[in-house]
A and B are shown apart, each in its own frame.
Chain A
């Protein structure tokens, strides 16, 4: 082996060590987050509500943290914790969770809720959307595997059904607001409440077997112009 390769390996090892130390350090600092989201953002096992954070795009996580701080998302416990935290630390927190291994298992609640009728509705909307009402398929923006798209679109798999339903409600009411144009506000208002429950239940049972990360930025172009997708094609 050449000297050069040795040196590269040594540097790589050193960097890996520094990275791991920084992770351990943040894991200790973020003890407050671990209670609901798990030590590595893997989510709390058996939780009826709390979403996992691991492996979601860093841009998405940062936007949510800023949203809780600045009033674009409402959750009293989250706002209480992050309200006096600046962008620099929020960005570091977002990057920490984004870099963790994506959660692979399905949310382990609500299996009995997934009736055949709901499965049919969900599969139709997730795969094909509802062109008559201008509702795109979930997979058109969140990726074929529903694991999200860098830098701003989150994975939809591995989330508790109640969490997904609550987000749809919040978008409809305008108390969860994304960067303009807020496409999820638009989409959520075009889907019937019973269909939302079907989608949420179906998604909650869907495993992400390959531990896939979000699709790389620009690897596909979603049909809707969203504020969280700076590279997306904007329609006037």
Chain B
């Protein structure tokens, strides 16, 4: 048998495998949207009327979508980008959305803007999924036009964003096509929002992109449908975001939840950490109707499969932990009970209850530990213009005392088998701000 024939036989034998790989790849490629997302319209010419009413509508939408929060540095020029996002693959900086031609969206047509918002592919290639394009794919044409008109109206700023600092292969944008083939499935365009429930879904899944923090993440930062609003650790900043579903939110009526969204506080809890930012930079300014629509929708979301089992306060006292000489109940009585109440019931609307609080029922203790270490000040809102504050205890309690009191809180009111030690607390030290 000649070498040539032998090669031919080998090729014939491998052919089914090659065909299978091509077929699977082809199917995955089709499922992430085929070629359409990569056809970025470069010659759009449709004119969007930039009247005052249109711009005002776009401003309201940008506010609900909280565009400025990600696309502005601390104290920086609004929408000029540059805020750093830490991921498992390195640091990504947000882009400049102002009308500057060189650094911003100055020469973008509305067609290119809408295409990039919905498909996550723009003139510079595939976008990293820190940009919530899977959510913005749901936006209506009219809303995208209004957002475009508004962004054209803000002052241009010639600020270049710092280059991303990513490891290979994430640093190579075409690798994102493989990520999309594995994890990205374009959603169907929703029907127009006619009822408050539809409006709520549109705001939560579309502009509000709540699932970016409140879902359980899958592999490589993906958002599998089974983890939809099922709660999880927020990538990069480490806070735990609770599930947003009928079980988690049973403590609230629709009215109470809507009021919490706008005021940042409620009889059941007060916004802290990243939610304090969302309230401060977005939700405190949304309309009553939109807040009610969001609450109406969230309260009927069924718990999804990846959700950690929920726990609520049991009626029995937990056994004392014998591994440490520090009694968490004593620490609680000395340092916490004055404000949060002997039974974790909170006080007078000034201090939130701890019974059933996310920080004590969550599968992860990080929120409770951070609040105790560094304290907090709720966001100022029309409904809570002069918030009461939580003192930092990092210098007042030892790590072992903090471990003991967190264990006590989570065992007593969270039914969590919490066995933290001082070493665990020290590993959670560190203020996360950017």
Contacts and interface: CB of A to CB of B under 8 A. Distances in A.
A79 B433 CA distance: 8
B380 interface: yes
B392 A77 contact: yes
B380 A86 contact: yes
B201 to A, nearest CB: 27
A88 B379 CA distance: 12
Nearest to B281: A84
A71 B75 contact: yes
A77 B374 contact: yes
Interface string A71-83: 1100011011111
A81 B433 CA distance: 11
A36 B377 CA distance: 15
Nearest to B430: A76
A127 interface: no
B225 interface: no
Interface size class of A (residues with CB under 8 A): 20 to 34
Contacts of A71: 73-76
A89 interface: yes
Interface in B364-405: 374-380, 385-392, 395-396
Contacts of B276: 84
Interface string B192-204: 0000000000000
Nearest to B388: A29
B43 to A, nearest CB: 40
Interface string A56-83: 0000000000000111100011011111
Contacts of B396: 35
B380 A84 contact: yes
Contacts of B377: 32, 81-82, 84-85
B391 A89 contact: no
Contacts, number: 79
Contacts of A83: 74, 277, 433
Interface string B67-102: 000000111100000000000000000000000000
Contacts of B378: 84
Interface size class of B (residues with CB under 8 A): 20 to 34
A81 B389 CA distance: 9
B279 interface: yes
A92 interface: yes
A31 interface: yes
A33 B390 CA distance: 9
A11 interface: no
A85 B277 CA distance: 10
Contacts of B427: none
Interface in A67-122: 69-72, 76-77, 79-86, 88-89, 92
Nearest to B384: A89
A77 B380 CA distance: 18
Between A35, A69, A70, A72, the greatest number of chain B beta carbons within 10 A of the residue's beta carbon is seen for: A35
B19 interface: no
B96 to A, nearest CB: 18
Between A82, A83, A84, A92, the greatest number of chain B beta carbons within 10 A of the residue's beta carbon is seen for: A84
A72 B73 CA distance: 12
A14 interface: no
A28 interface: yes
B12 interface: no
Nearest to A70: B75
B395 A32 contact: no
B280 interface: yes
Nearest to A79: B433
Given A35-B391, A35-B396, A88 B279 contact: no
A31 B433 contact: no
A84 B433 CA distance: 12
A191 interface: no
Nearest to B73: A71
Nearest to A34: B391
Contacts of A35: 375, 391-392, 395-396
A34 B391 CA distance: 8
7 contacts: A31-B388, A76-B431, A82-B377, A83-B74, A83-B277, A84-B281, A88-B380
Interface of B: 73-76, 276-277, 279-281, 339, 350, 374-380, 385-392, 395-396, 431, 433
Interface of A: 26, 28-35, 69-72, 76-77, 79-86, 88-89, 92
- Would you list the 9 A-B pairs with minimal beta carbon distance, nearest first? A70-B75, A32-B389, A84-B280, A71-B74, A84-B379, A71-B75, A76-B431, A86-B380, A32-B375
Given A35-B391, A76-B431, A86-B380, 15 more contacts: A29-B387, A31-B391, A32-B375, A35-B392, A71-B76, A80-B376, A83-B74, A83-B277, A84-B277, A84-B279, A84-B281, A85-B380, A89-B380, A89-B386, A92-B386
